[in-house]
Amino acid sequence: MTLYQPFLDYAIATLQQRLDLNPYPIPPGFERKEGTMGKGKRQEDVLTTSHAFKSPKLRQIRAAHVQGGASLQVLNFVIFPELNYDLPFFGADLVTLPGGHLIALDMQPLFRDDPTYQTKYTEPILPIFRAHQQHLTWGGDFPEEAQPFFSPAFLWTRPQETEVVETRVFEAFKDYLNAYLDFVAQAEPISHTQETKQILQAQRRYLDYRAEKDPARGMFTRLYGSEWTEEYIHGFLFDLERKLQTAS
Ligand code: DBV
C-alpha cells in the first residue's frame, strides 16, 4: 500500500456514496503509464494512474496518482464544477519527494475578493481549517502569483513525519472533501447570463494558470517525455479549453 492510496480509495468511495457518479473519459494511453526515475542502484519504477468521474453538477472529478517508491508519491486530485454553478474548485496536491512532504488542500474560489462569495464558500469551512491548522502549521513560501487562486482556508503544510500525513493530513482531507460535497448538495444552477459569463471567465483563468504553471511538468517530462506530458496536461489534467473548442 502506498502513502496516498487510502486517500484515493476514500475519495472514490465517498463520491460514489454521495453523488450520482458517472465515468469521465480518460484519453487512450493516459489511464496508466510506467517509467523509471534515477540511475543504477537508485533507479525506481514509477507508475502514474489516472482516475476520472463526473456528476450532474461536477464537470470533471479527476485524480493523477504517481507511485515511485518511498521518495516519490503524488496524489493530485481536483474537482471542476459545471459552468452553470458558482461552486469553488476542490483542490488537493499531496506530494512526497526526497526532500519531504508538501501538502496543499483548499476549496479554490472563483471570486476570491468578493465578500458575498467568501461568506458563502469560505466562512463555513474556516472552523475546519482552524481545527486542522493547529496541527499542520503553515508551509511557508509559495508562488506569489498563485495566491489569487487560494482561499483564506488554504491548508498548506510540509510535515516532517510520514505518520502525520497518514493521520492528521488524512483527517483534514476527509473533512474538506465532505464539506465540499455539502456545498455541492446545496448548489443551485445559475441561469443569469451575466453571472455565467463571469464563472466561465474565472474557470478559464484558473485552468489556464494551472496548465501553464503545473509544478509537475518537470517530473512528468523527465519520466515520460514532453509530448506525453503536454498532452496529459492539456488533454486530461486541465482540459477545459479543449472541451470548449470541441463543443463549438
Ligand atoms: N501538481 C499539480 C499536478 C501535479 C502536481 C497536476 C499530477 O498541479 C504535483 C501532478 N506539485 C506537484 C509536484 C510538486 C508540486 C508542488 C510534483 C513538486 C514540484 C517540485 O518541487 O519539483 C500547489 N504544488 C506544488 C507547490 C505548490 C503546489 C504551491 C510548490 C511549487 C513551487 O514551490 O513552485 N496546487 C498547487 C498549485 C496550485 C494548486 C501551484 C495553483 C493554483 O492548486
The model's pLDDT over 24-38, given as tens digits with 9 standing for 90+, comes to: 999 999 999 999 988
Query: Ligand 1: does its nearest atom lie under 6 Å from the Cβ of 140?
Result: no
- Check pocket membership of 146 for ligand 1, CB cut-off 6 A: yes
Ligand 1 within 6 A of CB of 109? no
Look at residue 239 and tell me if it is in a domain: no
Task: Encode burial over 63-97: b for 16+ CB neighbours within 10 A, e otherwise.
Answer: bbbbbbeeebbbbbbbbbbbbbbbbbbbbbbbbbe
207 lines ligand 1 (CB under 6 A): no
Report the residue among 65, 93, 105, 154 best suited for mutation to probe ligand 1: largest number of ligand atoms under 8 A from its CB. Answer: 93
Task: Over range 93-101, report the average pLDDT.
Answer: 96
Specify the pLDDT at position 247.
77
From 37, 94, 95, mutation site for ligand 1 pocket: most ligand atoms within 8 A of C-beta: 95
Contacts of 21 (CB under 8 A, 6+ apart): 15, 53, 54, 55, 61
Q: Which atom of ligand 1 is nearest to the CA of 89?
A: 43
Range(s) of the domain holding residue 133: 5-192
Query: Which residue, chain included where needed, has cell 483534514?
Result: 172
d(CA 92, CA 35): 24
pLDDT score at 248? 65
Give the position, in ligand 1's atom list, of the atom nearest the Cα of 149: 42
Compute the average pLDDT of residues 219-234: 97
Residue 57, domain CATH = 3.40.1500.20
Q: What is the average pLDDT score of the chain? A: 96
Identify the pLDDT of residue 220: 97
Count: domains in the chain: 1
Residue nearest to atom 36 of ligand 1 (CA): 93
Q: How far is the CA of 177 from the centre of ligand 1 (A)?
A: 19
Share of residues in the chain with pLDDT > 70 (%): 99
* Residue 220 domain-assigned (yes or no): no
Ligand 1 pocket check for 237: Cβ under 6 Å: yes
Interval 192-214 mean pLDDT: 97
Instruction: Examine the pLDDT at 169 and tell me if it is beyond 90.
Output: yes
Q: What predicted TM-score, i.e. pTM, was given to this entire model?
A: 0.96
Assess if residue 221 is contained within a domain.
no
Return the pLDDT at 246. 84
Query: How many residues would you count in the chain?
Result: 248
Burial of 147 by CB count in 10 Å (0-12 exposed, 13-18 middle, 19+ buried)? exposed
88, part of any domain = yes
46 located within any domain:
yes
CA of 102 to the centre of ligand 1 (A): 9
**Which three-class secondary structure string do you get for the chain?**
CCCCHHHHHHHHHHHHHHCCCEECCCCCCCCEEEEEECCHHHCEEEEEEEEEEEECCEEEEEEEEEECCCCCEEEEEEEEECCCCCCCEEEEEEEEECCEEEEEEEEECCCCCCHHHHHHHCHHHHHHHHHHHCCCCCCCCCCHHHHHHCCCCCEEECCCCHHHHHHHHHHHHHHHHHHHHHHHHHCCCCCCHHHHHHHHHHHHHHHHHHHHHCCCHHHHHHHHCHHHHHHHHHHHHCCHHHHHHHHC
Residue range 143-160: average pLDDT? 95
Return the pLDDT at 177: 98
Distance 107 CA to ligand 1 centre (A): 15
235 — pLDDT class (breaks 50, 70, 90) = very high
> How confident is the model at residue 172, as a pLDDT?
98
Cβ(87) – ligand 1 distance below 6 Å? no
Give, rounded to a whole angstrom, the gap between the first and last alpha carbons of the chain: 43
pLDDT band (50, 70, 90) for residue 41: confident
Is pLDDT of 225 > 80? Answer: yes
Q: Is residue 129 part of a domain?
A: yes
Decide whether any atom of ligand 1 lies within 6 Å of the 107 Cβ: no
Q: ipTM of this model?
A: 0.94
Confidence of residue 1 (pLDDT cuts 50, 70, 90): low
Instruction: Kindly state the percentage of the chain with pLDDT values over 90.
Output: 93
CA of 95 to the centre of ligand 1 (A): 8
Interval 71-94 mean pLDDT: 98
The set of residues, in sequence order, having a beta carbon less than 8 Å from that of 151 and lying 6+ positions away, is: 88, 106, 107, 108, 109, 112, 118, 121, 122, 125
79 C-beta closer than 6 A to ligand 1? no
Is 177 inside a domain boundary?
yes
pLDDT at 20 over 80: yes
Question: What is the distance between the alpha carbons of residues 21 and 127, in angstroms, rounded to a whole number?
Answer: 29
